[in-house]
Amino acid sequence: MFAAIAIAVVVVDQLTKAWIVGQLAPGAAMVVIPDLLNFAHGQNSGMLFGMLPQSAPAFAVVSFLVAGLIVVYHHKAGRGIVTTIALALLLGGALGNLLDRLNHGYVVDWIDMGIGSARFWTYNIADACITTAIICLIVMAVYPRAGEWGADG
């Protein structure tokens, strides 16, 4: 299940990014739901929220190392469903953004959400999976038994 989820995240992430690149020029946007959701072709050469721009090569190395650590941790951690899903989402998201950094020198962001002029940062499927994984990991840190749910034996 771990590998299947991680691969699915990478595939969906890369397909949606390829679609947006084919539909919109960099910086262009299309309104999906007025005042709530736009698709906007962004190119993030930095890290989360565009911090440290022009650092994609360094973050590619970091992403590769993090991916390796996630696989090792999953191998050593318990096999609870929540743990497996969280680590798979984290791995898939890291690999999706790593592929962008290696192929483009930046990460393609395209989901622009907000209410009216109050907008969140533009993000992508990989970012959404990473955020979801972090929330699950925080929940497991606060409630350790959550990580054991569905574990074998």
Residues acting as catalytic residues: 109, 127
What is the C-alpha radius of gyration for the chain, rounded to an integer number of angstroms? 16
Closest C-alpha to 113, from 34, 52, 46, 56: 34
b/e for 89-104, b at 16 or more Cβ within 10 A?
bbbbbbbbbbbbbeee
Contact at 8 Å (CB) between 127 and 50? no
